[in-house]
């Protein structure tokens, strides 16, 4: 039995790769999985021409910007440059107070949250619209759904979404009998193989053993990290934008000061350029929703896929 862990790129309609005639034609590959383009808010005013062209010409990858697109990108960049220089984030973080004491005590005891508190994260109220973003785009197709039922006047209700006690179960699973494989997929990148085990089979041949893997969506918390004197969103972009769109400012989130840049951005190539978020005009989270510097577009989504497949070798 093998387990593979793959990231999947996307298009608007499901597509499958051509069948392979090689020796591994019985194996499941990431390119065989259905994929989708998704609605996203894009920080157009902070993108270079190449990145902007990839977003605006999603169907014709590699095509340069048209004249109209150059005007649109130029206008967004001009709006960014017109802002006052500096990075105003004073009074961004406030003490949480005692309202969440009971909830936070349970959170600290949670096996999913304990590692964060050990690493030095703490819970505080943070002014979300003024936190800086480092992602070039944020998918918004499910952002409103994530925060629709929150009572914005109840900090516990907000915390149940920004600092959840349990992991989500939002993933799909199917079994491919022909290839003897379980296929589990989710738009959430926190899908993980979290354990494995063997038990005696309740049905089937005498002496048979049931072998398996535990798969779960790890709990995801809204995290704000201070890096080189600036506060950035590290995780929870969907929920943060959903809350901002509903008009909420201060929300209870995990905060950590003095985080290394590498811990904020493990894959620099997937984020904005360093000089964009560390320059004179870094993007705020509110800017993803600002029509003068950002746009809505269809962007290829990366789906997380876990494949557990039984392969018989030899005689």
Q: Which pLDDT score is estimated for 40? A: 92
Does 244 lie in the same domain as 162?
yes
The answer on 274 and 255 residing in a single domain is yes
Which sign, positive or negative, has the C-alpha torsion 212, 110, 116, 87? positive
Task: Judge if 264 and 228 occupy the same domain.
Answer: yes
95 and 53, same structural domain? no
Q: How far apart are CA 304 and CA 6, in angstroms?
A: 6
264 shares a domain with 154: yes
Asked if 52 and 183 sit in the same domain, the reply is yes
pLDDT at residue 86, as a whole number: 79
Contacts 24+ apart (CB under 8 A), 271-277: 271/134, 271/135, 271/136, 272/43, 272/46, 272/47, 272/133, 272/134, 272/135, 272/136, 273/46, 273/48, 276/46, 277/46, 277/132, 277/133, 277/134, 277/230, 277/232
The pLDDT value recorded for residue 135 is: 95
How many domains are contained in the chain?
A: 2
Question: What are the 10-residue block averages of pLDDT along the chain, 315 residues in total?
Answer: 38 32 44 67 94 78 83 96 88 94 95 93 98 94 84 96 81 79 73 76 76 76 96 95 95 97 88 95 97 92 77 77
- CB of 193 within 8 A of CB of 3? yes
For residue 167, the model assigns a pLDDT of: 67
Residues 56 and 149 in one domain: no
Residues 270 and 297 in one domain: no
Q: How many CB atoms lie within 10 A of CB 97?
A: 11
Which residue range is the domain that position 30 belongs to?
Answer: 1-86+169-211+288-315
One domain for residues 19 and 148: no
Q: What letter would DSSP give residue 284?
A: B
The residues near 99 (Cβ < 8 Å, ≥ 6 apart) are: 155, 156
Q: Identify whether residues 54 and 116 lie together within a single domain.
A: no
CB atoms within 10 A of CB 225: 22
Same domain, 125 and 152: yes
Considering the domain architecture, whether residues 184 and 237 belong to the same structural domain is answered as no
């Amino acid at each position: 039995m093998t387990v593979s862990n793959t990231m999947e790129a996307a298009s608007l309609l499901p597509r499958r790769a051509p069948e392979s005639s090689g020796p591994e034609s019985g194996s499941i590959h990431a390119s065989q999985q259905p994929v989708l383009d998704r609605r996203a808010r894009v920080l157009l005013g902070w993108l270079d021409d190449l990145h902007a062209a990839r977003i605006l010409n999603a169907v014709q990858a590699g095509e340069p910007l048209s004249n109209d697109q150059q005007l649109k990108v130029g206008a967004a960049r001009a709006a960014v440059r017109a802002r006052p220089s500096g990075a105003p984030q004073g009074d961004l973080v406030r003490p949480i107070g005692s309202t969440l004491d009971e909830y936070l005590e349970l959170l600290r005891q949670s096996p999913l949250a304990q590692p964060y508190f050990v690493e030095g994260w703490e819970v505080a109220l943070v002014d979300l619209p003024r936190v800086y973003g480092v992602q070039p785009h944020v998918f918004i197709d499910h952002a409103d759904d994530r925060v629709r039922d929150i009572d914005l006047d109840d900090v516990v209700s907000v915390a149940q979404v920004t600092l959840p006690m349990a992991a989500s179960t939002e993933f799909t699973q199917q079994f491919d009998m022909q290839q003897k494989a379980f296929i589990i997929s989710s738009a959430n990148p926190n899908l993980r193989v979290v354990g494995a085990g063997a038990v005696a089979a309740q049905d089937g041949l005498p002496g048979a053993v049931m072998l398996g893997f535990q798969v779960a969506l790890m709990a995801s918390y809204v995290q704000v990290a201070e890096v080189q004197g600036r506060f950035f969103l590290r995780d929870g972009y969907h929920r943060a934008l959903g809350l901002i769109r509903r008009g909420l400012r201060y929300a209870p989130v995990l905060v950590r000061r003095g985080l290394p840049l590498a811990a904020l951005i493990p894959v620099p190539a997937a984020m904005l350029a360093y000089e964009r978020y560390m320059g004179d005009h870094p993007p705020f989270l509110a800017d993803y929703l600002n029509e003068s510097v950002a746009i809505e577009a269809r962007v290829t989504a990366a789906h997380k896929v876990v494949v557990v497949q039984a392969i018989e070798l030899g005689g």
